[in-house]
Structure 1
């Protein structure tokens, strides 16, 4: 699997390096870190391809690649993935205080910003 360069000191907690943003590299990464999501990956790839053909726009494929690159960027780091799930639960919990929800939203935004940076969007 080809990977993006890793900055010195980064990546020690990563299960795998961040793969290139190609369908093959991302599929291999999903297979490695979250194999139960492969069927969803394949289904969404087919849907994106069909939409791209139907509309004549590659935007569908780009959106697909970005979505799954973000998924891999989060899930390849177990602590990051766990923190995202906890923050999402707090943000969605009706019993959470406004302060807890804001803290959770900041945590989610930080995690997603770090993932965007890793895939070259941030």
Structure 2
């Protein structure tokens, strides 16, 4: 897991999913503007945390594929129970990603 910094996360995102690099840059600039307007570091911390979770989830191909499959299952679920089961597993993967980031 790379350090939770703009440069390290940008490099990781570009390596893991270059198409997401555009979104990373757009969100970075929006967070920067918001931080300046609010005179607060909270928007930048939120931005960094969001992308650290993305990197944590997608840095292992199997986990990345599972996240994408679960997202598809939630969208295609034919019952509330199916959607909840897939969403619960997404929640567990997100919790594991948060733990990984916190343990750095």
Counterpart of 1:33 (choices 3, 12, 16) is: 16
| 1:36 positional shift | 1.5
1:115 is aligned, of 92, 97, 103, to 97
- Answering whether residue 27 of structure 2 is matched by residue 44 of structure 1, we say yes
Is 1:100 aligned to residue 82 of structure 2? yes
| 2:31 counterpart of 1:20 | no
1:68-115 deviation digits (Å, cap 9, x = unpaired): 00110011111111111111221122x522332222012111111111
Q: Is the 8 A contact 1:90 1:96 kept in 2?
A: no
The structure whose Rg is larger is: 1
* TM-score, structure 2 as length reference: 0.91
Q: How far apart in 2 are the matches of 1:37 and 1:101?
A: 25
Of 40, 44, 47, the residue aligned with 1:61 is 44
CA distance in 1, matches of 2:34, 2:50: 16
Larger helix percent: 2
Point out where structure 1 has 5 or more consecutive residues left out of the alignment: 1-17
In the other structure, the counterpart of 1:5 is none
How far apart are the structure 2 equivalents of 1:66 and 1:100? 29
Runs of at least 4 residues of structure 1 off by over 3 A?
A: none
